[in-house]
């Protein structure tokens, strides 16, 4: 940008606009992290902790953060998305098994809970590995390969 033709006041205006834009971008870069910190603090004070029984959030302050762990229907679940208000097993959650074995496959409801390449699941008594990123297909149809054969 050539400033030769600009007055000092015009250059100062450009600098002020640039500083305002940089401040806006920094706010955007850190806002989600700051919101997560505030919600984590609020939820801890309200007794909402990892590993507790899932309960239907009634507002944004009770929504589950990405990575939150809950129990529901005798299983442990991890939230795959921020601000998760869905019931585990319906959308936005992935089962976490205690022994580290692959969880049962659950039909993804969208890109937010699609399986990553390399994700391992069980389905119809067999172990499967996703061979594609963003996999929403039922094992055995597309995007997966048999892991170990029959599961006992």
pLDDT over threshold 70, residue 148: no
pLDDT tens-digit series, residues 24-43: 999 998 998 888 889 889 88
pLDDT tens-digit series, residues 41-55: 988 898 888 888 999
Dihedral sign for Cα 34, 36, 39, 40, please: negative
**Which residue has 């902790």 as its token pair?**
49
**Which residue has 């939230």 as its token pair?**
79
> What domains appear along the chain, each with residue ranges and CATH number?
7-96 (2.10.10.20), 100-152 (2.10.10)
CA distance 28 to 86: 26
What is the overall mean pLDDT for the chain?
87
Q: In sequence order, what are the residues at sequence separation of 6 or more whose Cβ sits closer than 8 angstroms to the Cβ of residue 121?
A: 102, 103, 104, 105, 115, 127, 128, 130, 139
Looking at residue 151, its pLDDT comes to: 41
Backbone dihedral region for residue 127 (phi beyond 0: left; psi -120 to 50: alpha; all else: beta): beta
Q: How does residue 14 score in pLDDT terms, banded at 50, 70 and 90?
A: very high
Pairing of strands 69-72, 52-53: parallel
Percentage above 70 pLDDT, the chain: 94
Q: Which of 79, 44, 45 is nearest to 65 (CA)?
A: 79
CA distance 31 to 77: 26
- The pTM score is 0.66
Cβ-based burial of 64 (10 A; exposed 0-12, middle 13-18, buried ≥19): buried
pLDDT tens-digit series, residues 61-83: 889 999 999 999 999 999 999 89
pLDDT tens-digit series, residues 94-115: 999 888 788 888 888 888 888 9
């Amino acid at each position: 940008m050539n400033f030769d033709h600009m007055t000092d006041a015009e250059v100062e205006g450009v600098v002020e606009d640039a500083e305002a834009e940089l401040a806006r971008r920094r706010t955007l870069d850190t806002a989600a992290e700051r919101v997560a910190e505030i919600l984590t603090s609020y939820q801890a004070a309200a007794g909402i902790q990892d590993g507790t029984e899932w309960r239907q959030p009634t507002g944004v302050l009770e929504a589950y953060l990405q990575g939150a762990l809950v129990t529901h229907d005798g299983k442990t679940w991890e939230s795959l998305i921020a601000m998760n208000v869905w019931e585990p097993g319906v959308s936005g959650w992935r089962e976490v098994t205690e022994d580290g074995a692959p969880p049962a496959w659950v039909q993804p409801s969208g890109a937010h809970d699609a399986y990553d390449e390399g994700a391992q699941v069980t389905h119809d008594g067999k172990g499967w590995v996703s061979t594609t990123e963003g996999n929403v297909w039922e094992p055995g149809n597309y995007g997966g390969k048999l892991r170990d054969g029959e599961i006992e």
